[in-house]
Each structure stands twice: as C-alpha cells, then as structure tokens.
Amino acid sequence: MLPALARTSLRASHVSAAARTAVAARHLSTSQVNSDVNRVTVFGAGLMGAGIAQISAQANLKVTLCDVTDKALEVEWSGWTNPGSCSPLSSRTRQAKVTTRKIKPTDIDRNGLNIISKSVARVAKKKAPEDVEGFTQRVLANIETTTDTEKAVSNTDLVVEAIIENIKIKRDLFGYLDKKAPASTIFASNTSSLSITEIAEACSDARQANFAGLHFFNPVPAMKLVEVIKTDKTSEETFKTLYEITKKMGKVPVSCRDTPGFIVNRLLVPYMLEAIRMIERGDATAEDIDTAMKLGAGYPMGPFELLDFVGLDTTQYIADGWVEKAKDGAVPLELVTPPQVLKDLVKKGELGRKSGKGFYDYSDAKK
C-alpha cells in the first residue's frame, strides 16, 4: 500500500502518466505490507471461513471472524455465506451494532462456533491427548467474532475473504474494506473459481500490490494444500508473506498465476466434466468409471463420487463461469462446456450429497 503522500501524488491531475508509473514502481519495491502477520480477520463464517479461522488460531494468531449477523456467526448461516443474500455493504450491515466477543468453549450449542469448537477438540485429541481441554481453550481464546465490518479490519495484518462465489459481492466487500483497513494490511480471497485480478480491481491501485489469492481446500483443518495466487500487480513481498504465513498455519503452499481454476480446479473440473460426457456417450457407467479411477489411478474418490461431494450446482457454476472466460481464449471451450446430463440433474435439484441424490442416491446413507 502506498503512503498517504504517494497516494496524493498519484491522484494529482498534473502528474504525467510516466511519472505515475515511476512513483508506483518505486513504492511497490518498498511496499508497506506487514510481513510480520499476527492478526488475521476472516470474512464469512461458513465451513471455509470457520476452518481458516481455526488453523490461524492454532498457529497462535489473533483471529477476528466476521459476518453480517450474529446468526451467521452463532446460530445459522446467512448473509455472505448463502447465495442470493444481501450485499455486505447494505446500510443494515454498515450500521450493525458492535457485537465483538470472545468465543467460549462452552458455546457448543451455536452452529458457527460449534463447527470450530468440535473441530479443535478433534485436533486436540491428536496433538495434546493429555490436555484436550486446555489445548481447546487456548486455541479458542485466540478467536473473537464480530458483525462490525469496520472494526474487524481496523487493526489487522491480514484479511482473508471466504464468502460466497459471487464476484459482485466480493468486489463490494473488498472495495469497502480498502477504505477502512490500514495501508499495510494484506488482502486475500479464498475464491476457488473467480479471477483474483478482477476481485482486486475493486480496490485502489496501491492496495492491489497487497492483494493475492489464498485458496484453501475443504475441510480446511485436514487438507494440507494452499494455492497462493499472484496477480500481475501482487508485490513479491506480499507473495512471500502469504507463502510463509500458510506454512505457519501448518499448510503446504504452492504458487500459481491468476489463471482460471488455478492448479487443482483447472485440472479437476475438466476431468469431472469429461467423466460425465463418458456416461452421456454410453462409454461406461458411473460406478465402473469410479472404480477404474480409484483402482487404476489410485484416486481416493472416483469422479462421480467427487462430483456429488463438491455439489453438482457448484460444478456447473464453475463451468458456466469458465465458458465466459473461454470467449477470451483463457481456457479451451470444449474442456469446460457443461454436459447436458449435469444441467438436467441441477435443474431437478439433484445436487449430490447435500440434496440426498446426485449421480448416486444417498437416501439410505450408504454411499
């Protein structure tokens, strides 16, 4: 982030384009980014946000978990965590009463806290079997929750966004936070399918140097991988800081440029879509394809088991977004076009495990 003087200079009408470029380059090399991350703010209290908050707290970082309502944090998911919800910048959100408080290990009757509390307890049984309660309390003591967006970023080193896969809502959130967070705060999006560059463009040019992608995988506490995504404007210092902080969280970071799907999903989604095309053509059954990939390729799940786990609606949403990218040549159209079978299942509401039926029937809970 550029200092105030530099920002004023860059805005001045008399500064030439060449001068602006020179100033920006000079300040990017001496970025204000805080490489010593101690305070993390996570936006979105869903499964991903709760998981990111948990691993940050386990790394002894001070964590603020923020969402639009107490219900999103404590009772039920709403706001940013559900598609079609209100924008995080609604007047109701901006004027929300401050409800910051520490998470108590006894708050297990509340859904959002329940996810974190139960997950930490499971970790404690492995890492500190002789002191499960003490381990759990120490981790949870590092987390507080709030509905006050401005307060959540007023003194934080790193913001990680884990709200719904809606680029407008993400851009609205980051555009607002850009004006409220310290100049040195790093911004990161946990998006799995959207362009980091397009999200970051909601912020000032200076902030974009402190902006990158941090793509965690579900379930966050168990999955070791994190994709660290650089845009063309991400400073090297920001990238290195994020790379190191993910290691501190106990993860294995890999780097990738801002390309559709990054690494894992860029390979995984076309693989799953081609599996669907195979059953469309009558090449093989879903069961036999799954068996073949598990026994022949050593995959823990076959493509149809994975599709049902991820959600067929989620898969179609990603593919539809990439079809738009294909128009610009960012990804081959034939790889990402959603098969008709997928569209038909989504239309019928057969979305996979979460709906009880997808490519497999989960009504008897056997699959």
Q: Which residues are catalytic?
A: 192, 215, 227, 265
Q: Give dist(CA 139, CA 116) in Å, integer.
A: 10
**What does residue 266 show for φ and ψ, rounded to 5 degrees?**
-65, -35
- Exposed, middle or buried: residue 348 (CB in 10 Å: 0-12, 13-18, 19+)? exposed
Residue 268 assigned to a binding site: no
User: How many Cβ atoms from other residues are within 10 Å of residue 73's Cβ?
Assistant: 28
Q: Give dist(CA 336, CA 77) in Å, integer.
A: 31
Residues 6+ away with beta carbon under 8 Å from 50: 65, 112, 115, 116, 119, 220
Residue 48 assigned to a binding site: yes
Residue 367 assigned to a binding site: no
- Exposed, middle or buried: residue 274 (CB in 10 Å: 0-12, 13-18, 19+)? middle
Three-class SS of 122-134:
HHHHHHCCCCHHH
Residue 354 assigned to a binding site: yes
Residue 349 assigned to a binding site: no
Whether omega before 3 lies within 30 degrees of 0, making that bond cis, reads no
Residue 31 assigned to a binding site: no
In 2-95, the DSSP E strands lie at 39-43, 62-66
Residue 67 assigned to a binding site: yes
Nearest CA among 202, 203, 190 for reference residue 164? 190
Q: Give dist(CA 346, CA 180) in Å, integer.
A: 40
Task: Using DSSP, state whether 188 is helix, strand or coil.
Answer: strand
User: How many Cβ atoms from other residues are within 10 Å of residue 14's Cβ?
Assistant: 6
DSSP class per residue in 135-146: HHHHHHTTEEEE
Residue 290 assigned to a binding site: no
- Exposed, middle or buried: residue 306 (CB in 10 Å: 0-12, 13-18, 19+)? buried
Residue 192 assigned to a binding site: yes
Binding residues: 44-49, 67, 165, 170, 192, 218, 354
Binding residues for NAD(+): 44-49, 67, 165, 170, 192, 218, 354
